[in-house]
Amino acid sequence: MKKHILIVPGDGIGQEVTAVGKQVLDKIAAKFNHDFTYDEALIGHVAIEATGNPLPDETLVKMKASDAILFGAVGHPKYDNDPTAKVRPEQGLLKMRKELGLYANIRPIKLFDELLGASSIKPEILKGADILFFRELTGDIYFGEKGRKNNGDTAFDVAEYSRFEVERIARKAFDAAMTRGKKLMSVDKANVIETSRLWREVVQKVALEYPEVEVTHQFVDSCAMMLIKDPKQFDVVVTANLFGDILTDEASQIAGSMGMLASASIGDGTGVYEPIHGSAHDITGKGVANPLASILSAALLLDISFGLKAESELVISTVDKVLKEGYRTRDIADATTPADKILGTVAMGAEV
Ligand code: GGG
């Protein structure tokens, strides 16, 4: 198979882990006789530094022309400490999602058995947890009007959802539920938020087309509690942009670490595959970042964008094998991990 992949490492540890993800794609291409070609492009803080723009036009053109995108992370602490900054790395990420029509962010929360001890949640509560999150990605408070009034003393962000936006993400989640345990939880805050009331109304309507799927509607606060209390009860979860952002970071603890969670953003055009973690400047340049989320994102890319199931499964089973052999990056190591099994980013990539 001949495919063109755009590598967009972005900021901080995005650079380190994406290089490893690409190596795995290369290895797969060699093993299965595929012809993968690559290009690279800037986004985020590195793009601002080079061009003044967090998503340069050149990057967007390359994104639209590629068959799939392996993405790293965006962010820089300098903006976190300057809330008045007008140009920010995250604007690049949001614009990319809008421009590419990436409305569905799929985040599998898969716990590798070997990592039962890596989480702060008790193993008996975790064992068997396997959740598939669908986070809506192009609406909500992230994209509504925002600003200041009253001489800057009052700030506002408007949350908006249309029926169309809710319906299309709901359909994606129901379709996935049909291929799994036929259980879907829709998460909202319909007791207080109007967009959530529309969300629930639309999900209830779409549910009529999927009579085999058992649907529950859960308030986001209660869902956050249940994720930690009893993660095994979840199968497919569909939720809005902000709730999904927060709940999946929480759910990463089910998988042992943020460094284990991959994601796929799909929609109208080229798919984007990225770890759910950010740029992590506290560990950037130290060579200790966990590359497994980028490697597992490459597995999602092979499966979802290219339909290469066997190749994707080989990547996932190889990660499993490396974990079974006892190798860990430091975020997933525990007190029982021997020092010689704790690897840095490059060494973990080489092991896989
Ligand atoms: N790889 C994920 C990433 O770069 N996250 C940083 C970030 O700003 N995330 C906000 C979001 O996902 O909406």
Q: State the CATH number of the domain containing residue 21.
A: 3.40.718.10
**CA distances (Å), 5 to each of 8, 176, 281, in order?**
10, 25, 26
pLDDT digits (tens, 9 = 90+) for 182-198: 999 999 999 999 999 99
Examine the domain organization and report whether 124 and 241 are in the same domain. Answer: yes
Buried b (16+ CB within 10 A) or exposed e, 214-253: ebebbbbeebbeebeeebeebbbbbbbbbbbbebbeebbb
Examine the domain organization and report whether 10 and 129 are in the same domain. Answer: no
Q: Is 249 annotated as a binding residue?
A: yes
> What value does the mean pLDDT take over residues 312-339?
96
Examine the domain organization and report whether 128 and 171 are in the same domain. Answer: yes
- Is 344 inside a domain boundary? yes
**Is there a contact between 53 and 91 (Cβ–Cβ < 8 Å)?**
no
Specify the DSSP class assigned to residue 159: -
- Is 232 inside a domain boundary? yes
Least confident segment among 56-65, 83-92, 155-164, 212-221: 83-92
Rounded to whole angstroms, the Cα distance separating 280 from 14 reads 8
Among 48, 71, 93, 261, say which to mutate for ligand 1: greatest number of ligand atoms within 8 Å of CB. Answer: 93
Q: What is the ipTM of this complex?
A: 0.92
Q: Is 97 annotated as a binding residue?
A: yes
Total domain count for the chain?
2
Examine the domain organization and report whether 230 and 289 are in the same domain. Answer: no
Task: Say if residue 110's pLDDT is above 90.
Answer: no
Catalytic residue numbers read: 142, 189, 221, 245, 249
Examine the domain organization and report whether 25 and 64 are in the same domain. Answer: yes
State the pLDDT confidence band at 325, using cuts at 50, 70 and 90. very high
> What value does the mean pLDDT take over residues 31-51?
98
Q: Is 135 annotated as a binding residue?
A: yes
> What value does the mean pLDDT take over residues 266-290?
96
Q: Is 319 in the pocket of ligand 1 (CB under 6 A)?
A: no
The residue whose two tokens read 């969670």 is 261
Task: Say if residue 201's pLDDT is above 90.
Answer: yes
Examine the domain organization and report whether 204 and 292 are in the same domain. Answer: no
Examine the domain organization and report whether 276 and 345 are in the same domain. Answer: yes
What pLDDT shows up at residue 83? 81
- Is 109 inside a domain boundary? no
Examine the domain organization and report whether 14 and 85 are in the same domain. Answer: yes
Rounded to whole angstroms, the Cα distance separating 292 from 318 reads 11
**Is there a contact between 109 and 254 (Cβ–Cβ < 8 Å)?**
yes
Indicate the average pLDDT of the chain: 96
Least confident segment among 49-53, 80-84, 135-139: 80-84
Residue 8, token pair as written in the block: 């967009």
Residue closest to 73 by CA, chosen among 303, 316, 284:
284
- Is 114 inside a domain boundary? no
**Is there a contact between 42 and 30 (Cβ–Cβ < 8 Å)?**
no
- Is 205 inside a domain boundary? yes
User: CA angle, 108 as apex, 105 and 109 as ends, to 5°?
Assistant: 130
Single residue among 254, 280, 302 that ends a domain in this structure = 254
State the pLDDT confidence band at 121, using cuts at 50, 70 and 90. confident
Which residues lie closer than 8 Å to 33 by C-beta, 6 or more apart? Answer: none
pLDDT digits (tens, 9 = 90+) for 6-20: 999 999 999 999 999
Q: What residue owns the CA closest to ligand 1's atom 5?
A: 278
Atom of ligand 1 nearest to the CA of 142: 13
Task: Report how far Cα 263 is from the mean position of its chain's Cα atoms.
Answer: 3
Q: Is 280 in the pocket of ligand 1 (CB under 6 A)?
A: no
Examine the domain organization and report whether 289 and 242 are in the same domain. Answer: no
- Domain of 15? 1-103+264-352
- Is 110 inside a domain boundary? no
Task: Say if residue 120's pLDDT is above 90.
Answer: no
Examine the domain organization and report whether 30 and 83 are in the same domain. Answer: yes
- Is 349 inside a domain boundary? yes
* pLDDT > 70 in the chain, percent: 100
Q: What residue owns the CA closest to ligand 1's atom 6?
A: 278
Examine the domain organization and report whether 157 and 237 are in the same domain. Answer: yes
